[in-house]
A and B are shown apart, each in its own frame.
Chain A
Amino acid sequence: MTTDLSGYVASRVAILDSVRQILRDTMKLKIEPEAIDPDAPLFGTGLGMDSVDAVELVIQLDGKFGLELAGSRQAFLTIRTVNTIVDAIMEVRGES
């Protein structure tokens, strides 16, 4: 992990806000993006996404961040919460 804490946090926060925005739009939630807890489960309970939402989310994440999840076995592990998505994006960017 980078020793530059503030730089790391800044990167995370930027991606966090972006992912929250995508979720809010994909699921047509009528809440502010900040109201989406970073560790809230996306499926089952939590935000209550379903498999149809998941497809759209994966497309959006690919489009915005180049995160290739479609058809990957790891996909369901990556999209458990907003933070796990951010983790994956940070890793792709070599910032984790």
Chain B
Amino acid sequence: MSYAPHITGWGVASALGVGRERLRSALLRGETGIAPVRRFDTSLFTAQVGAMVAGYESDDRDPTALCHEFGSLALRDALEHARLDLDCLRTRRVALTLGTSLFGDQNTESLARDLAKEFCIEGPAITVSTACTSSTQAIGFAADLIREGFADLVLAGGIDALTPKLFAGFDALGVLSEGPCTPFGLQMGTTLGEGAGFLVIERGGMRDAVTYSVLRGYGLSGDAFHETSPDPRGRGVAAAMRAALEDAGASEADIGYFNAHGTGTMANDTAEWCAVQSVFGLELGGALPLSSSKGHLGHAQSAAGVLEMITTLECMGAGLAPTTAGFEGARPGGPPHPVGTKKPRPLAYELALSSNSAFGGNNCALVFGTAEPASAGTEEVRPVFVSAAAALGAGVSSMEELALIYESESAPADCSLDIDLAAELPRVDLRGIDRGSELLTAVTSRALSDAGVRLRGQVRERTGLIAGALRASADSLERFHRSVERRGLAKPDTTAFAQVLPSAAQSACAKALNIRGPQSTITIGEGSGLMAAAISARMLAHRSDSDRMVAAAVDVKAEHLSGGALGDAACALVFCTTPTSVQVAGIGIAGPDQVNAAIAEAQSSWGSKEAPELVIERPKPFAGMPASSSSFALAHALDVLRRGRARTVLVASQGTTASVAIILVSTEVMHDN
């Protein structure tokens, strides 16, 4: 049974105002939220402007506190729009999907944990941290949670705050325009912004709510091209758009408006225009109304996706196409006629496409609107198998070593890891790769190799990667912060800046190995690896844009420079749709205190009356590796099943912000049932 995700409300804290009504009236008046930066000194930078949340322009509190406040405001606004109160949330299966990429000292999932607590959200809280595509992807994952029945209601969105270090990093890269950005227009460069936005997405017909729009589908891809520049021919963006259309059961001719990522940099805008022409064709593409909201809101980074979608929703409801604020003429290489009127232009449309792209090449597109799908159609659910696993960490580098620790219950070794990745991948340029990227690439490469996968041709487009990571690699974080301390904000280490994202390891791995399919970096704190596995398996089961997904996880101990120990680890598992001897029988996802509910859900989706023969529930003995430990457990389960030591295994994790349970069985058992 597949449930359509209905959008019944939204809320914002944005540069155009806190609260959706303020946002709407500012949009309709064609205003911009970009102004000279007051929060910190910009005299050393090229750019002087930014789009701070209205009322917070001078607020220079700790960014985590700011983010929490923005998130809180936006959530309240959304709940009010959807006519929900906290009691409603408490009594329903409610989840939170949050896009954010903090690179402070805290783990990325802490924001979701705190907001979930504040808003009495008891279901799973999944954080997506893929920079500029974070909230777009969070919305996509929310759609899956609803469609597959894991939640009845999801609060989906993103939050980001503009800090001096962020500003410094982008400025040093030379991507900021001096004055307000003009996407698709004559100034080159982008303008940074911030804010928070949330959508209320729920199962239609569940309560008496107004459905403003239906989230029809989403698509993910990776450029596998460069740390900061997009593929100039827009191939990754086009792939994400096509995947979103397919997921939505729509064709490009059904799209009435396109909200572009449109940052205003030469690299992005030209690549994106190439993608539009590729997906829509020259004629349809040339006639497609499109605009970028970054002229109004700046580049709100992790919140860009949700704020831009809400901009579209507001205008769509008023029969308008959003405009590109500040547009005064088209740049060469970009679309010749974006919507660039002073105010939004009257346009009736039933289906919209929205797209975002990020550092490291992650792309995400969304399709939403009031148009009904052509046919209800029964969705084909594919069986999912596991084909290989590889683990590195705590003295473990093989399945045998892993088994030894689980079976003998001995303590894992406290020793550093020695990998010669250059020897394993002689034809990959690994210069400048950081510790997290190195580990993740090593296990992913080994797992794919064990699975007999050669990433050539179409296989690259149809292989994806979901990584669980709590933060950016400690060495990159340290290098970046140290460069700012020593050389000042005007001279940050830009190679380190490009890597201070939790998703840096995932993008570096994708680039090294040429993985171009759906990809993301998520965290639930403890248990992230198992959540990555759950997402990977579900994507394979319910989507048709990939044939295999690598579910991986990586931990880099902060003190790694003094010799890695228990905390430095990575693990990867390959899931696929071609039969192997081990099959995914059931998956359960629930709130952090609800591991039993997750287990029950997994058991129920398996449909067997028997209890699993082996249960691996605690992350021990691999405590101290929050992302990878649950993946190690799953890898061990695979090994146990392959060796015939058991026929059914349950792996569960009570994570920091969600609980996950996965039941693996030997394939013959599935046939027996």
Contact = CB atoms under 8 A, between A and B. Distances in A.
Asked whether the complex places CB atoms of A and B closer than 8 A, the reply is yes
Interface of A: 26-30, 48, 50-53, 55-56, 59, 62-63, 71
A52 B494 contact: yes
A53 B495 CA distance: 7
A28 B494 contact: no
Given A52-B173, A55-B173, A71-B46, A27 B229 contact: no
B577 interface: no
A55 B173 CA distance: 7
A52 B498 contact: yes
Interface in B43-57: 46
Nearest to B422: A30
A55 B431 contact: no
A95 B190 CA distance: 41
Contact of A55 (B46, B174, B227): B174
Interface string B465-494: 000000000000000000000010001011
6 contacts: A28-B431, A29-B431, A48-B429, A52-B227, A53-B495, A56-B494
Nearest to B486: A63
Contacts of A51: 173-174, 228-229
A28 B499 CA distance: 15
B494 A55 contact: yes
Contacts of A59: 487, 491
Given A29-B431, A52-B228, 20 more contacts: A26-B495, A27-B431, A27-B432, A28-B431, A30-B431, A50-B229, A51-B173, A51-B228, A51-B229, A52-B494, A52-B495, A53-B495, A55-B172, A55-B173, A55-B494, A56-B494, A56-B495, A59-B487, A63-B491, A71-B46
A29 B495 CA distance: 14
Contacts of B429: 48
Interface in B312-335: none
A27 B46 CA distance: 25
B586 to A, nearest CB: 45
Interface of B: 46, 172-174, 226-229, 429, 431-432, 487, 491, 493-495, 498
Nearest to B432: A28
A73 B46 CA distance: 15
A46 to B, nearest CB: 14
B510 to A, nearest CB: 17
Nearest to B491: A59
Contacts of B495: 26, 52-53, 56
Contact of A63 (B226, B229, B432, B487): B487
Contacts of B493: 56
Contacts of B228: 51-52
B643 to A, nearest CB: 40
Nearest to A28: B432
Contacts of A30: 431
B359 to A, nearest CB: 10
A21 to B, nearest CB: 16
B361 to A, nearest CB: 14
Contacts of A52: 173, 227-228, 494-495, 498
Nearest to A47: B431
Contacts of B491: 59, 62-63
A53 to B, nearest CB: 7
Contacts of B173: 51-52, 55
Nearest to B496: A56
A48 to B, nearest CB: 8
A14 to B, nearest CB: 24
A71 to B, nearest CB: 7
A27 B493 CA distance: 12
A63 B488 CA distance: 12
A50 B226 contact: yes
B498 to A, nearest CB: 6
A26 B493 CA distance: 10
A62 B491 CA distance: 10
Contacts of A48: 429
Contacts of B46: 71
A23 B431 CA distance: 12
A50 to B, nearest CB: 7
A26 B496 CA distance: 11
Most chain-B Cβ atoms within 10 A of its Cβ — which of A52, A55, A62? A52
Contacts of A56: 493-495
Contacts of B432: 27-28
B358 to A, nearest CB: 15
Contacts of B498: 52
Contacts of B227: 52
A53 B174 CA distance: 12
Contacts of A27: 431-432
B230 to A, nearest CB: 13
Nearest to B228: A52
B166 to A, nearest CB: 16
Contacts of A53: 495
B339 to A, nearest CB: 31
A28 B476 CA distance: 13
A94 to B, nearest CB: 26
B488 to A, nearest CB: 10
